[in-house]
Amino acid sequence: MPATSRSPVALYLFSCLIALFALSGYWYWLGKPVVLPDAATPTHKLQCASYTPFDKDQSPFDQPFTLRPARMDADLALLATRFECIRTYSMTGLEAIPELARKHGLKVMLGAWVNANPVDTDKEVKALIAAANAYPDVVTAVIVGNETLLRKEVTGAQLVKLIDRVKAQVKQPVTYADVWEYWLQYPEVAPAVDFLTIHLLPYWEDDPKGIDDALAHVAQIRQTFGSRFAPKDILIGETGWPSEGRQRETALPSRVNEAKFIRGFVAMAEQNGWHYNLIEAFDQPWKREAEGAVGGYWGLFDADRQDKGVLAGPVSNLPWWPFWLVVSGAISVATLALAGPVTHARSALILPLLAVFGAACIGTWGELARVTSRFTGEYLWAITLIVLNLVVLAHAALTLSERAGWRGRAFIWFESRAAWWLGAAGFAGAVMMLAMVFDPRYRSFATATLWLPAFFYLARPVSAPRREIALLAFIVGLGIVPQLFREGLSNPQAWAWAVVSVLMALALWRSVKVSTPSRNLQTASLPETERAPG
């Protein structure tokens, strides 16, 4: 075989090897385990954790409202191995909790849900008082309302009356729980409680704190409250970090960051003798609808009650990275098979890299969509974007193929519809950009879905309807600066979205300037041996 024929084959094999290493390295980098000092051990239990007894298919908004006693029993048995106590938020449906806690050797900080409906609130308060008096050996404190002032459902004076009512009828200490700022906004509440329960969630602050600054922020607020409200004790009633979801400025949700925060906080709290409650025992998928994807991932265990590695042992941001390596590897192989043999050095070098790049983008979006999609519409949107990327990847692969036989006919089919694929990518980019500009708080960045179409159609513009494509380019491009302004310049996820949006806008704009070729597309696209004579 001549050297000129062997050269592309050798280059192709070398490029495949590099691509394989790159793909494996990418997924391992995302999922590599990190070793941190343990917070909980078999001989060292932590103080308290928030407990909501819903399975992953349940919500407090379900009608009828039904909890599962077997689930609560199993949950408390598990939590008893790590914690001394649990905190609850409502009495409705949780009447069995004190008895189950006694069974498993747990103490309970019992909560009543206070809202704007006085009838509902009265039922909650009566049940709270009855349970506290029935289980004085289990219930260590009662909490009259949770973030009720934040939601503006009662006034400070109304809340004080409820607290006084409960204090007159129970022997346990009585408190109220809210974000730390609301204790300062409603100073009349602090004198009414036996101790203050403050929520410290650095991720959700108006000025979000990154993981490197989060513990210092917690310590500063705790010290301020300890001094200001002395001699009353301060309970940090909620603190934690999400394991999934969108980044807010420098505050990045991840399992490793959740473990860093929780383990660092526990060490700091125990060193300073603080009372604390971690949020929360188990991931609660139902919260994603109200709070975005991030709302469902504050648990120390996942929704299936599996350990996330937050409290002890090595922790990984993506423990199932081998699965995505296999999936993206399969997509890469299918892409190479679609393209077929290569005889040109350019294709031999680029094709394997293109295959793994596209497959990595699809796999990354698949994982992100898995954890962020909340309802049927979002799942369908996620699937549509996956299909779009698969189509663009196939189009790109056939562009680099020899286009003989069925590959040539397939290329003609993809090429004749290229304006559709570009338009679909531009439409997706425009829709997502509008969402990120006007309603971004609970939305995740879908950056991975645009890298492939942006690069491909930027390098290879297609003929497309001028007005429609120009409008999409205008929307995507116009939203870049407002999006960055809203997110803050310190948010790497926002910058990545801005960069891919620039590329997408340029790809769309380049295609606006492309005129339809005058020669027949099929004839121009087929190799010489496939063209009809004459």
- List Cα–Cα distances, 143 to 9, 88, 136, 196, 347, in angstroms: 71, 9, 15, 10, 67
Confidence bin at 6 (pLDDT 50/70/90)? low
pTM: 0.91
> At 309, is the secondary structure helix, strand, or coil?
coil
Domain coordinates in residue numbering, the chain: 3-29+325-516, 36-296
The DSSP H or E segment spanning 4 is helix 3-31
- Give the span between the Cα atoms of 68 and 110, in whole angstroms: 19
* Per-residue tokens: 156: 């400070």
pLDDT in tens, 445-458: 999 999 999 999 99
Instruction: Give 276's DSSP letter.
Output: E
β-bridge mates for residue 48, sequence order: 85
pLDDT in tens, 337-392: 999 998 889 899 999 999 999 999 999 999 999 999 988 999 999 999 999 999 99
Tell me, what amino acid is at 297? Answer: Y
pLDDT in tens, 220-279: 999 999 999 999 999 999 999 999 999 999 999 999 999 999 999 999 999 999 999 999
Question: 36-296, superfamily in CATH?
Answer: Glycosidases (3.20.20.80)
pLDDT in tens, 498-522: 999 999 999 999 998 775 443 333 3
